């Protein structure tokens, strides 16, 4: 996992987050953008003005901002926005129930992107991962999604990729498929253990994954059945809500 730079420039980070939101979630007003990244409206408008200047955003006739020409031909924003809006209330309930940070992930080729995070309020906690990318074969949500692919699909996905034992990965994915859950035991970040489960779309294909990120100091395998049950319930709730839409 890429760590936050020790001398991070917050304004740059906020601008990049805004560009990513417009790409993934579609048009939004300046006030909505401000709320999404947690800054003042005036700050959001200054950031958006610079994104417009560099063609990373554009302002429509109704004064909403959308992805500019520099951000086109990527992941469709509308589907991610619908998925996030549908899932977030259940993600928040999962966080409240378990008192651990809950995440929604989508797979983008060999990676998973964190589409939403409901961060728990414990002093020792895993922070907000929204917008981050992790290798799918290491992340719990990524493995849960890869387990829904056929062996040949997985081989094709990782064809020519160095450093990955695809046959070993396939054996692990068979185990994930049998259990219905995946575990990431500090494979992407020291001190963090995650458990994840796939979420089905209306057609029965997996469209996302829900996961719990737990500090390793608080992780206990005796609690896995409890966490697995909570994830299964949340995944079913999201799947039902997506079907209703």
> Averaging pLDDT over each range in 13-17, 26-30, 72-76, 184-188, which range is the top one?
184-188
List beta partners, residue 23: none
Rounded Cα gap, residues 192 and 41, in angstroms: 34
Selection from 95, 135, 88 nearest residue 113 by Cα: 135
Higher pLDDT, 5 or 93: 93
Is residue 192 in a domain?
Answer: yes
Domain check: are 61 and 87 in the same one? no
Domain check: are 29 and 145 in the same one? no
Residue-wise pLDDT for 78-112, tens only, equals 478 789 889 999 999 999 999 999 999 999 889 99
Domain check: are 217 and 165 in the same one? yes
User: What's residue 110's pLDDT?
Assistant: 93
Domain check: are 140 and 214 in the same one? yes
- Domain tally, the chain: 2
Domain check: are 88 and 185 in the same one? yes
**Whether 169 contacts 136, CB under 8 Å:** no
Q: How confident is the model at residue 77 (pLDDT cuts 50, 70, 90)?
A: very low
Is residue 2 in a domain?
Answer: no
CATH number assigned to the domain comprising residue 20? 1.10.10.10
Burial environment of residue 66 by CB neighbours within 10 A (0 to 12, 13 to 18, 19 or more): middle
Is residue 166 in a domain?
Answer: yes
Q: Whole domain around residue 20: which residue ranges?
A: 10-71
Residue-wise pLDDT for 184-196, tens only, equals 999 999 999 999 9
Domain check: are 161 and 108 in the same one? yes
List beta partners, residue 108: 111
E strand segments, 82-229: 101-108, 111-118, 133-135, 182-185, 192-200, 206-215
Residue-wise pLDDT for 129-184, tens only, equals 887 889 999 999 999 999 999 999 999 999 989 999 999 999 999 999 999 999 99
Domain check: are 154 and 218 in the same one? yes
Domain check: are 27 and 117 in the same one? no
Selection from 51, 79, 80 nearest residue 66 by Cα: 51
User: What's residue 1's pLDDT?
Assistant: 45
């Amino acid at each position: 996992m890429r760590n936050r730079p020790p001398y991070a420039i917050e304004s740059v980070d906020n601008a990049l987050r805004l560009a990513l939101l417009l790409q993934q979630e579609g048009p939004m007003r300046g006030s909505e953008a401000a709320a999404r990244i947690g800054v003042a409206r005036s700050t959001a408008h200054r950031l958006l003005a610079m994104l417009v200047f560099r063609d990373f955003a554009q302002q429509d006739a109704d004064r909403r901002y959308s992805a500019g020409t520099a951000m086109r031909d990527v992941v469709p924003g509308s589907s991610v926005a619908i998925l996030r809006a549908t899932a977030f209330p259940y993600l928040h309930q999962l966080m409240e129930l378990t008192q651990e940070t809950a995440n929604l992930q989508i797979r983008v080729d060999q990676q998973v992107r964190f589409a939403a995070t409901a961060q728990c309020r414990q002093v020792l906690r895993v922070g907000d991962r929204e917008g981050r990318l992790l290798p799918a074969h290491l992340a719990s949500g990524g493995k849960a999604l890869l387990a829904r692919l056929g062996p040949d699909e997985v081989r094709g996905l990782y064809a020519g990729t160095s450093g990955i034992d695809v046959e070993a990965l396939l054996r692990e994915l068979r185990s994930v498929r049998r259990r219905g859950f995946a575990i990431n035991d500090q494979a992407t970040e020291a001190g963090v253990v995650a458990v994840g489960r796939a979420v089905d779309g209306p057609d029965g294909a997996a469209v996302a994954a829900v996961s719990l990120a737990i500090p390793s100091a608080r992780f206990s395998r005796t609690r896995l059945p409890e966490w697995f049950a909570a994830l299964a319930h949340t995944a079913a709730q999201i799947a039902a809500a997506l079907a209703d839409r």
